[in-house]
Amino acid sequence: MTQHLNRRGFLRGGLALGCSAAAFPLISHATFAAAPFDHRLIVVILRGAMDGLDVIRPVGDRNFRQLRPELGQGEGPALDNFWQLHPGLSGLMPLWQAGELGFVQAVSTPYRDQRSHFDGQDMLEAGTAMDSPPEFRRDGWMNRLLAGLPGARSETAFAVGREALPILSGPAPAQRWAPETEMRVSPQARRLLEQLYEADPPFHSAAGTALELTEMLNDLEPMDPAGESEAMMAPPPMMGLPEPEKANAEVSAFAAFAAARLREDTRIVALSLAGWDTHAGQDNAIRRPLARLEQLILELKAGLGPVWNKTAFIAMTEFGRTVRQNGTKGTDHGTGGAMITAGGAIRGGRVLGQWPGLGDSDLYAGRDLTPTGDVRAVAAWVIHGLMGIDKGALQNGVFPGLDMGTNPGIV
Amino acid sequence: MATPKAIIAHRFGFGPRDGKLPLYPPASRLDKPDRMLKTFAAQGSADAFAWLVEIRKISDAAAGGDNAARKQRQAALAEASRRALVNARLELARAVQSDDSYRERLVRFWADHFTVVARRTLQRPLMTPFADDVARGHLAGSFAGMLRAATTHPVMLGYLDQTGSVGPQSQFGQRRKRGLNENLARELLELHTLGIEGGYTQTDVRQAALLLTGLSANDTDGTVYLPNRAEPGAETILGKSYGGNRKARIDDIYQFLDDLAVHPATARHMAWKLAVHFVSDTPDPALVADLAAIWRRTDGNLLAVSTALTEHPAAQKPDQEKARQPFDYIVAALRALGTSGAQIMDWKDPVLRRTALRPMTAMGQTWQQPNGPDGWEEAFDRWITPQALATRIDWAMQMPRRLRDKLPDARKFVDLALGDLADDQLIRLVGRAETNVEGVGLVLASPQFNRR
């Protein structure tokens, strides 16, 4: 059992280093307290700027088709007499009908005019305004949310996948994992590694968490040596040909891992789906990211089982895209966009948001959908309803300077 | 006690090869011929595009319903993946074999600065030729030359959608109702030159996009300038007017690029980026200021700037603040283990995948597939995460014995891999490993080997 105790030592050192030892008392697996709330929050960053107007189409607006004569060729299911869903998400219609899927149109972060993916995503994940003080810009808003949750610990929040997720980064401990990771180390080597990393806090912390997670996963599904060696020989996904399959497998792994964690102690999950930057040939280019989004939502629902009823899922993107199609049957970086909500804990079946219209004088800078709501306010009201966090903490601590406005009643 | 020579070899190179530190200062060979490019020569851009033209004919026939052509197209996709794999192997071999490894590090830096990503399988074989043309060809020349090579390269023009951008008032734009795409113009200002804080506006982006119209590319002819797609009239960018009432010409674009290359904001942005990549996530302001001054004084002479970077006092300090990125980590480990470029060329494909490409992905850096045109992140905590470190530890413990029948004695290997960067604690712990394999693994998993 020295191995076991050793792991504890590793973990303790790792967490102590999060420079928030006071707020997050040292913990071990055995002393994990119950999470402070029972609901689940999943936030998905749609990287690349999803074209909200193509995904939730305002077909009832008489200007819409004229502005985009060659986009959105295939008809999708009608949500009501104004809105139509992109056919690539038609698999979600049962959720819409059950009130477990909703949308918010014409929303954006406070980010304006520069239209850079990277800055747009930074602001989306930092949850800040253009004039927020720099100390807020460094950390993700979900990390500040976590820091304010009494009794939160690293296991409470998970970033899933290999990509960086600044939305969860910051001093409050959160975990991050790609479901397929392995670490094969003998007990003696483990002891030596622990001593080796002792004087180097970032290494010590990372290794401690890695050890904890590999062991959790081993508990989840017993290791299969044959399968392992086969996996080592398989061609790497990116080098292979059928990319859609790769996307499917990756999304499945994300969904399965996230659902497994959320069925246990984890309450908050962040992940990202890329591929929305449809500058050219949008009708074709948007299909794959939509398929991945649909698959993610459906597999999370299936994997969560009864926990789905306590779950709110929010998908957000850095900004919308130009209202008019561009010269390459695509759209360029814009401003107002859309959000997608799902889960048994939300009141769906509605497209929320104040519609600004698409007439020339309605547009932002003569080119973009005018934002009439703030992405952060939507997230804040969901969190308020889900976790009971008060408005003051949300408007000052999590999203500095945000005015939440009136409650849209999503949760 | 770490000596300056060892620190420099890790910070600006891939560390020692087979225990030997480079004999020359890192920048002293940059103006000499690129030997690795000859020894491990990859297919050039022209040949790579010529192949695509052939494949395009097959694709057209396949789209027309020709069954034989459909099969040929499937084979072409497999061939594209194979070619991309050959290129990955060559680039790995160059980095592992080179005794001029600052050059190899700079190749990675500049190829990343001008990131291009294959959106489709067929484009994958173009990525290495792009890096060879743009980064390798201009390392010791002027940034203006490199910027022109990158911005007008057919791979870049395709990646950032310039090939579809048309002046709305141009002949072609009017006749075909085609318009502007701002993507290249925006990244040119934000990422490649001035930087996000470089003081430009949305109007500058728009004007730059208008100026760039006419610049295009196709697989058959490579880069082309099509005056009938160029927006008529002058454009004003950052207060300077380009073009005019005369017929649109590519020289106006060149003039704009040359101005961007020596702009003070570009000097500052690039000085900062080099310092961050090679020295510290939070570099000494004096280092950035001094490099920017040299950039301005020499009009962006990359040999002068790259040399000054390695010689600056702020770059000599012993703290290893940066994390080796996954490619660099695997290259450094292979060099320490004595793997040669020739051996890498002989590896079977599955060996290449399991030794380098798959682990790189699991460490967070899929080869030639960064998330977007801003390339790979620099921050230490982006690379030393639980999952990435788990993979590094797994590699360190499992891979060396697969690569060599007989590993060097771990106590000797500490010295081969790290020289005097190894401290007493590491040497002591390596001596206490249960097996030699684990001792070697401990060295490769150590913070000293994963930092630079």
In a domain, A9, yes or no: no
A239 touches chain B (CB under 8 A): yes
* A164·B386 Cβ contact <8 A: no
Average pLDDT over residues A34-59: 90
Average pLDDT over residues A253-261: 88
The predicted structure's pLDDT at residue A135: 65
Which backbone phi and psi does B17 adopt, to 5 degrees? -105, 120
Size of interface A-B (CB pairs under 8 A): 180
How far separated are the first and last CA of chain A, in Å rounded? 46
The number of beta carbons lying within 10 Å of the beta carbon of residue A370 is: 19
Q: Are B145 and B345 in contact (CB under 8 A)?
A: no
Q: Are B53 and B219 in contact (CB under 8 A)?
A: yes
In a domain, A154, yes or no: yes
The predicted structure's pLDDT at residue A332: 92
* B362·A240 Cβ contact <8 A: no
The Cα–Cα gap between A121 and A131 comes to 16
A326 touches chain B (CB under 8 A): yes
Average pLDDT over residues A382-388: 94
Report the CATH number at residue A47.
3.40.720
A20 pLDDT band, cuts 50/70/90, is: very low
Structural domain boundaries enclosing A60: 36-181+245-398
Lowest-confidence range among A147-156, A319-328, B292-301, B430-439? A147-156
In a domain, A27, yes or no: no
3-state secondary structure of B198: coil
The predicted structure's pLDDT at residue A226: 37
Tally of domains in chain A? 1
> pTM to 2 decimals?
0.74
A223 pLDDT band, cuts 50/70/90, is: very low
A333 chain-B contacts, CB cut-off 8 A:
182, 186
* B389·A186 Cβ contact <8 A: no
Q: What are A198's two structure tokens? A: 């002792």
**Closest Cβ–Cβ partner in B371, B432, B441 for A163:** B371
The Cα–Cα gap between A365 and B298 comes to 40
Structural element, H or E, at residue B427: helix B424-431
DSSP result, B116-158: ---SSGGGGGGHHHHHHHHTGGGTTSBHHHHHHHHHT-HHHHH
Q: What are B376's two structure tokens? A: 């790979």
In a domain, A213, yes or no: no
For residue A205, what is the nearest residue in chain B, using CA coordinates? B386
The Cα–Cα gap between B409 and B398 comes to 16
Q: What is the mean pLDDT of chain A?
A: 83
Q: Are A7 and A210 in contact (CB under 8 A)?
A: no
With a cut of 50, which residues of chain B have pLDDT below it? Answer: none
Lowest-confidence range among A319-323, A326-330, A338-342? A326-330
Per the DSSP assignment, residues forming a β-bridge with A108 are: A374
In a domain, A232, yes or no: no
Kindly report the nearest CA distance between residue B224 and chain A, in angstroms.
18
Amino acid making up residue A88: G
**Closest Cβ–Cβ partner in A176, A186, A193 for B386:** A176
* B394·A182 Cβ contact <8 A: yes
Kindly report the nearest CA distance between residue A47 and chain B, in angstroms.
9
How do residues B173-225 score in pLDDT, each as one tens digit? 999 998 999 999 999 999 999 999 999 999 999 999 999 999 999 999 999 99
> Which residue out of B176, B389, B440 would a mutagenesis test of the A interface target, given it has the greatest number of A Cβ atoms within 10 Å?
B389
Query: In the predicted model, is pLDDT for residue A234 greater than 60?
Result: no
Q: Which residues, 6+ apart, have CB-to-CB distance to B239 below 8 Å?
A: none
Query: In the predicted model, is pLDDT for residue A242 greater than 50?
Result: no
The predicted structure's pLDDT at residue A6: 37
Query: In the predicted model, is pLDDT for residue A239 greater than 60?
Result: no
The predicted structure's pLDDT at residue A13: 35
A217 pLDDT band, cuts 50/70/90, is: low
The predicted structure's pLDDT at residue B119: 73
